[in-house]
Amino acid sequence: MLKNLKGIGLLLIANFLIMITLGVVYVVLANFVLPAFGIDIRGSVDATILLYAGVLGFGGAFISLAFSKQFARAMLDCSQITEPRTRAEEVVFQTVRELAQRLHVKMPEVWVYDAPDPNAFATGPTKNNAMVAVSTGLLENLNEEEIRSVLAHEMGHVWNGDMFTTTVLAGLLNTFVYFISMWVERFFRERDQAILGIVAFYVLQIVLGILAMIVINWHSRRREFEADRFSGKAYGPAPMISALQSIQRYVEAAQMEYATHDALATMKISGGTGGWMNLFATHPPIEERIAALRRMA
């Protein structure tokens, strides 16, 4: 209980420090840097709007992170492994425990959820307050070495603090989306064009939100390569390469069976689909991940 409260407290402190940093950066830019180049925005930016945007942007992101485990469990048909009952559950439980001991972190909660696609994820607010979940499809389609490599990949996310860094990035981008949208809305409202301001507010929310998602997903793809690297260091690159190849075979079989472009698009497990749509993929294409692991080998 105390560790959980400590984790949430650290999140709140980080949120507060980031808001202070944003305020200091704005003061320096508005009062010293920009005037030196003949740009004067003093008085044109309402600090109240910036503060409100920061509360909305970071507040929502950090609340989602703080309750990420609860949200994940609520959305999935899952059961927690505390005493393994099958060989597959034993492999999952012992692998996570072994990796946690190696990393000197509190063992994450271990869950199995009912889904046919081979997938796994890690979430939680801190390294010592995390959960790792695997799908039944992963246990059915991958062998024990491959399962261990996938679990090492997820523990890499935990160890690298990827949930926290992604939340900070999302909060920062959300702040700017809210700030720009509210500033433009106020600009039109002060000129008695309230309706146009409202329209501009929602249009900017959508457009800027899409641009922010591109940045967040780019960061997510980079973190996937780092998690693969962690798995390669833990158990060698070969098992993770084999796991990705097994997942690729499942993807291709599912595509043929259901005649869809990407049968696993909702889970983002197969990475980008090619072209500009790769900008919105949270995972790199499996071929690129395998190539990176082979270079590591």
Q: How far is CA 116 from the centre of its chain?
A: 22
Indicate the helix (H) or strand (E) that contains 129: strand 129-135
The pLDDT value given to residue 23: 61
Closest CA to 240 of 153, 162, 159: 153
| CATH hierarchy code of domain 69-158 | 3.30.2010.10
> 106, 50 in Cβ contact below 8 A?
no
The pLDDT value given to residue 262: 47
Q: Would residue 108 be called left, alpha or beta, if left means φ above 0 and alpha means ψ between -120 and 50 degrees?
A: beta
Which sequence spans correspond to the domains of the chain?
69-158
Rounded to the nearest 10°, the torsion over CA 71, 77, 79, 85 is -160
User: Tokens for 259?
Assistant: 């005649």
Euclidean distance between CA atoms 134 and 210, whole angstroms? 29
> Among 89, 109, 146, 154, which one carries the catalytic annotation?
154
* Tens place of pLDDT per residue across the chain (297 aa): 444 444 445 555 555 565 566 566 666 766 777 777 776 666 655 667 777 787 788 888 888 888 899 988 988 889 999 999 999 999 999 999 999 999 999 999 999 999 999 999 999 999 999 999 999 999 999 999 999 999 999 999 999 999 988 988 888 888 889 888 888 888 888 888 889 999 999 999 999 999 999 999 999 999 999 999 999 999 999 999 999 999 999 888 877 766 544 444 434 455 555 566 778 888 899 999 999 999 987
Confirm whether 287 is a catalytic residue.
no
